[in-house]
A and B are shown apart, each in its own frame.
Chain A
């Protein structure tokens, strides 16, 4: 195993967190890091995948799922999250939806020097909306996903998990 692989956030770990937290539906739009995870999710009988063509749709779908008794997870990229501002406001915050959004952190670098404005505005966007978030970069960080689920349920609010694993994350 390479060093990169050893420090990666493995899709198996993410899938395990979904199952552990009782996720029933994954409402998602692919980003550059989710291909292998997609194959795993597709093969998992306890999950139903709901693909969207614009990330804001994921918010209203997740709201309906949650209000009617299911447990959705939203899986999108930071670019799409920012596109979804009004849907986040109205459907998730406005209806007190306890949902976790796993958000691919495009442009994230550990050293703070980024060349991608998607990364520049991601955390500022979340702060503006008052949405709490956790950064997950590798398997050792994975327990933060469960923390996010617990917090969402306790506070009846959306909570974001930023997936800062752009280079070796979910692709194979």
Chain B
């Protein structure tokens, strides 16, 4: 099993000029990114929506790779989104799923059927032409260049260690360095769009 921070460290050198939507990996990505203006770390506007948001970005910016670090708790709320993404076939869309098997921010309660679900098979069944699953960092590291080197949409399920938070929300370390408004403003400016 790998740690989210280590997985993102492996990914970082391959980022190039891709748009990165770090989802619940945002707390680690903020220390790794070399191009924050192409990152869209929104935290959690409404659970279950990261895949939809990333799809929208990918459709609006077909000339750029869009990298999403989704989570299993989010996608379980929106499994139908996989079908929409598969139908749209965005060639620039790279869908990574951080699967720690639980709701880590609420104390670590397991997601439904956590030990017996195969997200890569669900994605493939939804119509993703390529889907992978990795639970070891070395395997992931070996296959990543090929995954990113071919067109999307591609789905990559990553089994990671749970890092459970039990502190009251108000006492947790705040990893965001920018407000959501600022994130959107910076991103649009980087893309040459109006405010």
Contact = CB atoms under 8 A, between A and B. Distances in A.
A72 B59 CA distance: 11
A57 B78 contact: yes
Contacts of A54: 78, 80
B59 A60 contact: no
Interface in B37-55: 40, 42, 44-55
B193 interface: yes
Interface string A89-104: 1110011100000000
A38 B54 CA distance: 25
A112 interface: no
Contacts of A94: 45-46, 180
A156 to B, nearest CB: 10
A51 B59 contact: no
Contact of B53 (A25, A52, A63): A63
Interface residues of A, number: 32
A144 interface: no
Contacts of A53: 80-81, 83-84
For the complex, would chain B's binding face be called helix, strand, loop or mixed by DSSP majority?
A: helix
Interface of A: 24-25, 48, 50-54, 56-70, 72, 86-87, 89-91, 94-96
Interface string B158-194: 0000000000000000000000110010011001010
A91 B59 contact: no
Contact of A69 (B54, B61, B80, B181): B61
Contact of A61 (B45, B47, B56, B181): B56
B88 interface: yes
A91 B51 CA distance: 12
B80 A64 contact: no
